[in-house]
Structure 1
Amino acid sequence: MSFQKKLVSGDFVVLAEFDPPKGVDASDVVSNLMRVKGRVDGVVVPEMAQAVMRMSALGGAALMQQQGMETIMQICSRDRNRLALQGDILAAYFLDIRNLLVVPGEEIIYGDHIDAKPILDIDELTLLRAIKGLQNGVDMAGMELKGSPEFVTGCSIKPAKNEMALEAELKLVQKKVKEGAQFLVTPPVFNIPVFEDFMTKAKPLGIPVIATVFLLKSVGVARYIATNVPGAHMPDEMITRLRKSPDRITECVTIAAELVKSLKEICQGVQLVTMGWENRLPAILDAAKT
């Protein structure tokens, strides 16, 4: 069953994030993809995550489609103007990419090309509106297309450091839904009770919510997130578990799997983010029995 059909039917979806290669040797990416082929409903292809230069999401998604994977291609306006964005959206459809995820894109100052200049010609709402327009057969200049693409388009929500910020984010997502967003991907979830409260607030949006499950990898990573990521709500006991575990890698996998199991009862899917540890995805899936 396709990602789109699962969203419509209400089935639980499991996505895995796969960065394109930094270079043209895609052997590691392909090898890790084959380990999860048939076990996930799709792969999310980031658009130069953390503003680190690598193969574009368009190229990466085309590569992964060639391996028989259904892809969800991220797209953002950080690096391209409206001309380039629309051109890449049409190219994506031509390359059999049928799912888009509109994201803000991390600021360039956090990446590896800090002298690069951001474009930011349009914002996320305008980009969603542009995608909707292309699907209706017209570009942003009002010119008719010869053949229209069809996509399942999602959006993201930023971490919220407090209730006021969360309320503002949810209002923004409501606008995104009006502009064509059909599913929502959340920031990493670590605290299930807090996420349950979020889901109560997000229910009026009327679209499927896919929660991000982030593989912590180490105590240091967990502590950094707890201290520096607004709205992470990292439980102290999670950090303690990692610190006391004699096998921290296995414990990280176990925690991720436990989160997946819990989230099955709360939202409509998960996105597994392993940040270079894609070889651990099968272990997470095994432990979560997905």
Structure 2
Amino acid sequence: MQDTHSTSAVNNFRKAVAAGDFLVTAEVAPPKGADSTHMIEMAATLKGRVHAVNITDGSRAVLGMSSLAASVILLQHGIEPICQMACRDRNRIALQADLMGAHALGIRNILALTGDPVKAGDHPDAKAVFDLESVRLLQLIRKMNQGVDFNDKALNDGALDLFTGAAVDPQSASWSGLQSRFEKKIEAGAQFFQSQLITDFERLEKFMDKIASGYNKPILAGIFLLKSAKNAQFINRMVPGVNIPDHIIDRLAKAKYPLEEGMKIAAEQVQIARQLCQGVHMMAVKKEDAIAPILDLAGVEKVN
């Protein structure tokens, strides 16, 4: 039987990267349970506004539907996914099996991640795997794109054609560590980067000038919708490496309508990021329908 997906798979995101477009992606959480209605509704609000929608893979080590399955559901609804794949829960056999399955089902964009520690999540006694980490996962995908498996044995039933990205944290405390890790991911085959939540745009600018500028790979700055001062304080406490400045927290605290203020702040950050890098990665936990209005406020045009 002929593989119909290989010719019909959606990959407009890759085309937008190649064209040098200003890139917009957004994150949607998969459901916890069998009903994907809410996820589909939230993702549908992003149609025509983003180039692709990330489906998280056990973000913060919290249980959710398989990112692969959720990505396929989005694809069936005409929404191009970026399927996140973390090393925390799978060994190299399972990772390769999922990558082959993803490709066969029409998924082309993969974000290769190490994965958050199990202790951070809702199943702290679960057994972590971490057979590989993100750099080695990128290397593995590159091999599979070349038609061989992890052990350099031929994929007898066809090479993959996956467009792989990686995470980057320009606010990392270790500048040398940031540079080394970024360069290793480039060498391993990363074609695009999505950043963690950015609050220090001077640091982002330094990263773009001193490190990223020499590699011609798109960096998408992580823009996070803060819903209230309490929400911002919670993130400062719970998310390592993030420091939301007091002036933003004060602004949210004084606002009559904190959510609207948070949307204005996010839109301002999109405008700043647009001057510094090739894209933005929008995150609005449980409020994904606010992303399109934020992009409107920021003056970001609809995507083709």
TM superposition score category, shorter chain reference: over 0.9
Match of 2:289 among 259, 276, 279: 279
Residue 204 in 1 paired to residue 204 in 2?
no
- How far 1:130 sits from its partner (Å)? 0.7
d(CA) in 2 for partners of 1:230, 1:141: 35
Structure 1: 5+ residue stretches without partners? none
Match of 1:149 among 143, 160, 164: 160
Pairs aligned (count) = 288
Contact kept in structure 2, 1:194 and 1:233, CA below 8 Å: no
Corresponding position of 2:271: 261
Corresponding position of 2:182: 173
5 Å-filtered alignment, 1:1-290, equals: 2-145=12-155, 146-158=157-169, 160-162=171-173, 165-201=174-210, 202-226=212-236, 229-290=239-300
DSSP 3-state at the match of 2:15: helix
Contact kept in structure 1, 2:194 and 2:219, CA below 8 Å: yes
- How far 1:158 sits from its partner (Å)? 4.0
Root-mean-square deviation over aligned CA pairs: 1.6
- How far 1:30 sits from its partner (Å)? 1.2
Contact kept in structure 1, 2:113 and 2:133, CA below 8 Å: no
- How far 1:73 sits from its partner (Å)? 0.8
Contact kept in structure 1, 2:138 and 2:188, CA below 8 Å: yes
Q: TM-score, normalised by structure 2?
A: 0.90
Corresponding position of 2:5: none
Contact kept in structure 2, 1:161 and 1:230, CA below 8 Å: no
Contact kept in structure 2, 1:226 and 1:234, CA below 8 Å: yes
DSSP 3-state at the match of 1:270: strand
One-letter code aligned to 2:199: F
d(CA) in 2 for partners of 1:19, 1:229: 17
d(CA) in 1 for partners of 2:17, 2:66: 26
Q: % of aligned pairs identical? A: 37
DSSP 3-state at the match of 1:194: helix
Contact kept in structure 2, 1:159 and 1:231, CA below 8 Å: no
- How far 1:228 sits from its partner (Å)? 5.4
DSSP 3-state at the match of 1:36: coil
Contact kept in structure 1, 2:24 and 2:51, CA below 8 Å: yes
Contact kept in structure 1, 2:171 and 2:200, CA below 8 Å: no
Structure 2: 5+ residue stretches without partners? 1-10
- How far 1:147 sits from its partner (Å)? 0.8
